Structure 1
Amino acid sequence: MFGPGDVNFFDLVAPLYDILMPGADPDVLADALAVATGPVRRVIDVGGGSGRASAALPAGLDADGPVVVDASAGMLTRAQDRGFGAVRGDAARLPVHSNAVDAAVIVDALHHFPDVPGAFTELSRAIRPGGVVVVREFDPSHPLGRVLAVGERAIGMDSTFLEPDDLRSDLETTGFDATVLDRGFTYTVVGQVPERGDADR
C-alpha cells in the first residue's frame, strides 16, 4: 500500500501519530458518504493507519464498525487499541470480497500509495454498485501543499500528490462517476460506482 520508506516512517511515529495529527472532519466525511445510493453500513478505511478517519465516521455503521486496512503494523496496533477492526493489506490487493462494502474512505493517505491506478481498480471491485470511495487529499498546487510535498520528500517519503481535477479524472478512468466536493489545501473527491442500470445506458 505504502512505499517501504513510508511504512517504516509510520511504524516509527505510530505511538505519537494521534497526538501530532488533527482528527478527520466528520462533517466532510458525512457529506461525502451521503452521495452513496442506499445506506452506508460497511466501510473500509484504506490507508487508515491509527483509525483517525474511522473515528470521524457517522453513526449507523455495522456493529463491528469500520475496518482499517493499512500496511503499517504499528499504526494498525493503534487502530485496534481504539476498538476498530484492523487488517494489514495493500490497497492494490484489498483483502475484501467483490461488492462487499458500501464505501471506502482514504483520508490524507492516497499520496503514499505506490500504485494508485491499482488501488482504484480494487476499490471499484470491492465497493457495491451505488457505493462510494471518498478521498481526502492535499492539493500540491496550493502554497501549503507545495510546502508539504517538499517536506515529505525531505524526510525520505515516496509521496505523489494529485491535484483535485487529476484525481477526479483518474477515478473516472477507472469507471467511477467522480465529483470534486470541495477545494483548498485539503480537498475531497467522491467516486461512485455506477449502478447497473446507469452502466448500461
Structure 2
Amino acid sequence: MASDTRTGDVAIFDRIARLYDLKPATRRKKLAPALAMADRDVERVLDVGGGTGQGVRALNVPTGVVVDAAPGMLAEARDHGVAGVRGDASRLPVGDESVDAVLILDALHHMATPRAVLGEAARVLRPGGVLVCLEFDPTTVLGRGLVTAEHAFGFDSQFFTAGDLAAMVRAVGLSASIPRTGFEYTVVGVKRF
C-alpha cells in the first residue's frame, strides 16, 4: 500500500506505537472550540494520521475512525476501542461528503503532500463540516527546537506557520481561521453550504 506519510516516518511510528500514548494526549477542551465552528452537529469524525486514536478518544461522538499508515498505531487504536483503517491520507478510503469533522492533529508535518491531504479532507467533509489541524509553529523558540528534535530522531518533518497552513486550507476551498496561535496552534477550515 502506498502512503502519503513519509516512508521513514511510518516505520518510526510503527516501532514506537506501544509507547505513543505516553506523550500528553490531546484534550477535549483543546478541540472543542474548533469543533464548535462547524455549521452542523459533529457526529462522524475521521482522525487522519490519528495513530492510537487519542483525538477521537478525547471526543464524545457516536462514530470516530482513525486512518493511519502505520499498522502498529492502528493496532493500538483498536486496543483502545477505536475503529482504524490503514490508508493513505492523500487518498482517503472514505466517500465524498461522508463525515462531519476531520482531525489532523500533530500529523500534517509528517505527510509528503500536505495540499493533497487537505484536499481529501475537504472532499470527505459534509457541507457545514469542519477540518481541525493542530500543528506547531517552526518560527517560535520551541518550534525550532521541535524541528531539530524530530529531524534528529529520524523524522522527515515539514512544518508550516499558522498563516501558511490557513492559506493551504483556503486553497482547497474551505473557509479558514486560526483560533489558537503560539507554539502549538490550530487552523480550522469549514466547508460552507
Which residue is 1:131 aligned to? 129
| Deviation for aligned residue 1:125 | 0.8
Which residue is 2:161 aligned to? 163
3-state SS, counterpart of residue 38 of structure 1? coil
Aligned residues: 190
Which residue is 1:148 aligned to? 146
Which residue is 1:13 aligned to? 16
3-state SS, counterpart of residue 66 of structure 1? strand
Q: Distance in 1 between matches of 2:98 and 2:190?
A: 15
Gaps of 5+ in 1: 196-201
5 Å-filtered alignment, 1:1-201, equals 1-19=4-22, 21-57=23-59, 59=60, 61-62=61-62, 65-195=63-193
Q: Distance in 2 between matches of 1:99 and 1:15?
A: 33
1:47-103 CA distance string (max 9 Å, x none): 00011111112x2x22xx300000000000000000000000111000000000001
| Deviation for aligned residue 1:25 | 2.2
Q: TM-score, normalised by structure 2?
A: 0.96
Which of structure 1's runs of 4+ aligned residues deviate more than 3 A?
Answer: none
Residue type matched to 1:91 in 2? A
CA RMSD, aligned part only?
0.8
3-state SS, counterpart of residue 54 of structure 2? coil
1:20-57 CA distance string (max 9 Å, x none): x1010211211111101121101000000011111112
1:152-181 CA distance string (max 9 Å, x none): 111221100000010001100111100001
Residue type matched to 2:39 in 1? T
Residue type matched to 1:36 in 2? A
1:167-201 CA distance string (max 9 Å, x none): 00110011110000111110001000121xxxxxx
3-state SS, counterpart of residue 102 of structure 1? strand
